[in-house]
Amino acid sequence: MSERIERWVEALARLTALAGGLVLTALVVITVISVTGRALVFAGLAPVPGDFELVEAGTAFAVFAFLPWCHLKRGNAVVEVLTMHFSDTANRFIEVVSNLMMLVLALLICWRHWLGTLDKQSYQETTFILQFPIWWAYAAGLFGAVVFVIVSVWCFWRSIVEYRSGSNVPISGELS
């Protein structure tokens, strides 16, 4: 059962990160086209209308899309100067505490992002040039925040299991 959940959580985090990567790739293409259009205005080309609005919204989505994958793969910063001198049990305990703190932070981010999305939706505010509702960008980021909460719950549970079983906790960069 635990392995099935882990595979499901990993697939969800991977797909979310891939979506973030695709959005970033599209933003690069839009930016190149827009800059080229600005440079070649004399030749009849033009920049992409609302390019900065698209980059702003897309980048916000991408950041939230990468958080779950980073956390799942233990890609967060680890200060090993001190912890390398601790016992395995102490490091497993630190992993449990840090995953609990990350879960609390993920829940807080998701909750506040949800309220921000509702707020933007209620005001019906749109972007200046493209006139798309700003809450759409918030909702896209909210998706990544929800996935971040799901992954954080799993990582907290995983660290508890590792603590109880006495298994070695891989350090940042060591993929299990």
What's the one-letter identity of residue 171? I
pLDDT tens-digit series, residues 51-100 = 999 999 999 999 999 999 999 998 877 777 777 888 889 989 999 999 99
Residue ranges of alpha helices (H) inside the chain are 2-39, 51-72, 80-83, 88-123, 134-165
- Average pLDDT score, the chain: 92
pLDDT tens-digit series, residues 112-149 = 999 999 999 999 999 999 999 999 999 999 999 999 99
**Quick one: pLDDT band at residue 2, thresholds 50, 70, 90?**
confident
What's the one-letter identity of residue 143? F
Is there a contact between 133 and 126 (Cβ–Cβ < 8 Å)?
A: yes
Residue 172 has pLDDT above 60, yes or no: no
**Residue 100 exposed, middle or buried by CB count within 10 Å (0-12, 13-18, 19+):** middle
Is 11 or 173 the better-scoring residue by pLDDT? 11
pLDDT tens-digit series, residues 97-108 = 999 999 999 999
Degrees, nearest 5: CA angle 80-84-87? 135
Q: How far is CA 29 from CA 21, 50, 51, 129, in A?
A: 12, 14, 11, 19
The pLDDT assigned to 176 comes to 46
The pLDDT assigned to 7 comes to 96
Residue 19 has pLDDT above 60, yes or no: yes
The pLDDT assigned to 78 comes to 72
DSSP 133: B
